[in-house]
Amino acid sequence: MASETPQTDLSSDKPLAERPKEGEAGPSKNALKKAQKEAEKAAKKAAAKAKEAAQKAQQEAAAGEDVSVGFYGELPLIGGPDFKPTGDNRVNLGRAAKEASEGKLSGPVSFRAQVINARQQGAKLAFLNFRQGTDSVQAVVAEGEKISRKMVKFAAAVPVESVVLVKGLLVKTQEEVKSASIKDVEVHVVELHIISRADSMLPLQIEDAERPLPAEGKEEEPQAAEGERPFVGLNTRLNNRVLDLRARQNRAIFRIKHGVTQLFQEFLNARGFIMTQTPKLMGAASEGGANVFRVDYFEKKAFLAQSPQLPKQMLIAAGFERVYEIGPVFRAENSNTARHLTEFSGLDLEMAFEEHYHEVLDVIEEMMLFIFDGLKTRYKEETEIVRQSYKVEEFKLPEKGKVPRITFKEGISMLREAGEEIGDFDDLSTPQEKHLGRLVLEKYDSDFYILDQFPLAIRPFYTMPSSQNQTSSSLPENQTPQSSATFPTPQYSNSYDLFMRGQEICSGAQRIHSPSLLRAQMLAKDPPVNPDGEGVRDYVQGFGYGCPPHAGAGLGLERVVMLWLGLPNVRLASLFPRDPGRVVP
């Protein structure tokens, strides 16, 4: 099979890599053949050398020269023909250290770990630090009955970041260990084998990747102070993401991100939602032609979904009642800011309701509080690890029923009182958004709030006009709102955004479920959207088959993680971020 997921008929297809590449630039076949021969030669040479070394070690052992033979060295390739499984139990370092600290552990344990650093002290001692997950521990290799000087030397020379198999005693220390996360236990090594040797020159030191990036808007690469290591910027980190992701705070960030997805699902599953997968390949640019990626689709063109908006509404029209999706969202936007990605993870939900879209907004609000609460209680340790790097104030949480829910109109008033000049129906700029966030925090003591009833003109065509017929404050007081007997054209809409630390993380609305109103609204947009266009025709028609009133929302997963932790850049919350200038690694 070509790649993991089964799709290809085994009968008809060779692995992808074996197929001829079409029009791809690359080294010539001859060059590769040559390289192939050289690699084979090198491999044979390496194998011969390894065999020789092993024989030499055996000879030395036979001559009684090294008491430690068999206790250290390089393991044969695991999975290769020379490796012999031992069936030994391997422990989790954190748990084993805790047992050792409580006096519940005796005898040596085995564990796999990565080498953080290794150094020799005199001829008889080597000190190492090992990493396993977010735990780290100090280790000593000391010359003794079964530990030769050669073994000490070997230990001190293990390249940083190599994966090793350690057998050792976990011993309580007299003094607190400063250089490791495990403070009261160290390892007295009895065996040490290299499972996977790291290159001796690494393009990025984990130590450097563990230093925080400057806050948004600050200099990217601050000058290093005297004696300090030079600061390593975001680009270098992202270019070497496999190493960068080993930084302790990164391990924690992605456990928290996992947590958000699980809490999201847990909450919605309990309320009868189902997880769905809607297509990312679309026959037409359904939400407008700009900012959409075009795909060569056999003889035609296809487009990458800018959101699951249309299909998720179609599922409501199909009678699914409550759906959610976790999936990639693609935006061909040439924005190079700290909060934009060209591909990010959308947490989308859509729900039929009975009488008022606030039934849905209440669910969303409760869901966010559930997620925050879950992060606070279940991911406390991870959050603390990140806060050790990014010293951001704790996220101020409102209680249930006390989430500030203010109308857009109210928000504008608050901004004006604070000196901002802004029109009634103007969209908020990013600085204005942040300003409003500060005002809400001051007034309500909450880093999370909801802005409801946005102006209709600044929302997409599928947004339900406001039921509240709010009049603008600039409307003369004696002027009555438009009669509701004819189709009203209210200035506001049944739509909302959610904010964390003054930045938008979620946008949603009641959708128009009346096909005639939807058509009218599409045509009323400037420029108008053609309701019979290929990308929207099936969507619009679906509402003509009977559709319940519904509302929903889309959250940006990376933004939730970024703002919960107060990270300075959304890229830090994406494993392999994509932006206009970056599609690798």
List the interface residues with a second copy, window 104-143 (CB under 8 A). 112, 114-115, 131, 133
Active site residue 112: no
Which among 63-71, 147-155, 168-176, 568-576 is the span making contact with a second copy, rule CB under 8 A? 568-576
Q: Which is nearer to a second copy, 148 or 564 (CB)?
A: 564
Among 162, 495, 507, 574, the active-site one is 507
Each residue of 202-236: b (16+ CB within 10 Å) or e?
eebbbebbeeebeeeeeeeeeeeeeeeeebbebeb
Read out DSSP for 394-436? Answer: PPPPPPTT---EEEHHHHHHHHHHTT----TTPPPPHHHHHHH
Read out DSSP for 534-550? Answer: TTTHHHHHHGGG----E
- Asked if 207 touches a second copy (CB under 8 A), the answer is no
**What are the angstrom distances between the C-alpha of 185 and each of 51, 99, 136, 527?**
38, 10, 11, 68
Q: Which of 205, 213, 257 is nearest to 233 (CA)?
A: 213
Q: Which is nearer to a second copy, 17 or 225 (CB)?
A: 17
**Site for a second copy, residues 409 to 438, rule: CB under 8 A:** 427-433
Q: Which is nearer to a second copy, 280 or 405 (CB)?
A: 280
Phi, psi (deg, nearest 5) at residue 114: -115, 145
User: Which x/- pattern over 335-374 shows residues binding a second copy (rule: CB under 8 A)?
Assistant: x-x-xxxxxxxxxx---x-xxxx-----------------
Q: Which is nearer to a second copy, 311 or 566 (CB)?
A: 311
* Other CB atoms within 10 A of residue 365 CB: 21
Structure tokens at 293: 């990626």
Active site residue 507: yes
Active site residue 19: no
Query: From the list 398, 455, 552, 566, which residue makes contact with a second copy (rule: CB under 8 A)?
Result: 552
Q: Which of 342, 314, 310, 312 is nearest to 325 (CA)?
A: 312
- Asked if 278 touches a second copy (CB under 8 A), the answer is yes
- Asked if 280 touches a second copy (CB under 8 A), the answer is yes
37 neighbors 121 (Cβ within 8 angstroms) = no
Report the nearest approach of a second copy to the CB of residue 194 (Å): 9
User: Which x/- pattern over 54-93 shows residues binding a second copy (rule: CB under 8 A)?
Assistant: -----------------------xxxxxxx-xxx--x---
Report the nearest approach of a second copy to the CB of residue 59 (Å): 17
- 388 forms bridges with which residues in the sheet? none
- Asked if 30 touches a second copy (CB under 8 A), the answer is no
Q: Which is nearer to a second copy, 204 or 369 (CB)?
A: 204
- Asked if 382 touches a second copy (CB under 8 A), the answer is no
**Site for a second copy, residues 299 to 328, rule: CB under 8 A:** 300, 302, 304, 306-309, 311, 314-315, 317-321, 326-328
61 neighbors 81 (Cβ within 8 angstroms) = no
Active site residue 333: yes
426 neighbors 473 (Cβ within 8 angstroms) = no
**Run of H or E residues at 373:** helix 358-378
364 neighbors 405 (Cβ within 8 angstroms) = no
Query: From the list 58, 123, 173, 199, which residue makes contact with a second copy (rule: CB under 8 A)?
Result: 199
What residues are labeled active site? Answer: 331, 333, 339-340, 504, 507, 559
